[in-house]
Amino acid sequence: MPTLRFYGHACFGLETTTLNLLIDPWLSGNPELGAIPSDLRPPTHILVTHNHRDHVGDAIELSKTYGAPIITTPSAARHYKGEGAATAPLHLGGRLPLDGASVKCVNAIHDSPLGIGETWRVELGAPCGFVVDIDGKSVYHAGDTALFGDMALFAPVDVALLPIDGRMVMEPADAVRAAQLLQAGTVVPMHWRDQDPHAFVGLLTDAGITGHVMKNGETREL
């Protein structure tokens, strides 16, 4: 049975006996953590949804340390490879088989910039989300995104990890609609900034959807 581990913000680990898929590893830069956790299980793969610093985070350094490939869109993968990381490019719509799991790269509505100097930015390919099928469970990590109707094409999912801050990503009411489109068994909020994740779970409950707020370091068997 896979285990979901929360590291804060939008960083999660999906763990089995043979795999540790670490998603959007903003660890040392996260003020709630301040460092890479000393008990971090070495990742076998690192998934990056887009190039904002609060998502790519420590991905390059962790890849160099553990030899774990970064699974991300091709443009971002080329950049990370140039920085010395191992990569496994995966385009939108593509699926990467793993040992007892698979990762599908899906759309997100956001951006994925690469900062050059202090003022100039260029887009580093498309942002994405991931649908991970692992030990018979399906987990959708939305990355940063607005609500979009094609989320219904990913349904049903056992667990949906949805951002809710309402300024840089969809607002809580939109995230409830996303959960409905996804036919999500359980929703875990992330990237909530100034929003109250418990209030969001209340909105889910009102809609007949199960939600759970995870604390930093918390694990849940799926």
For 87-123, the pLDDT digits (tens) are 999 999 999 999 999 999 999 999 988 765 566 577 7
Indicate the helix (H) or strand (E) that contains 147: none
pTM (predicted TM-score): 0.96
Chain-wide mean pLDDT for the chain? 95
Tokens of 4: 């979901």
Angstrom CA distances, 14 to 20, 79, 140, stand at 6, 25, 11
Angstrom CA distances, 93 to 68, 89, 103, 136, 190, stand at 22, 12, 10, 20, 24
Cis peptide before 156 (omega within 30 of 0): yes
So what's the architecture of 3-207 in CATH? 4-Layer Sandwich (3.60)
For the chain, the straight-line distance linking the first and the last C-alpha, in angstroms and rounded, comes to 7
For 146-204, the pLDDT digits (tens) are 999 999 999 999 999 999 999 999 999 999 999 999 999 999 999 998 999 999 999 99
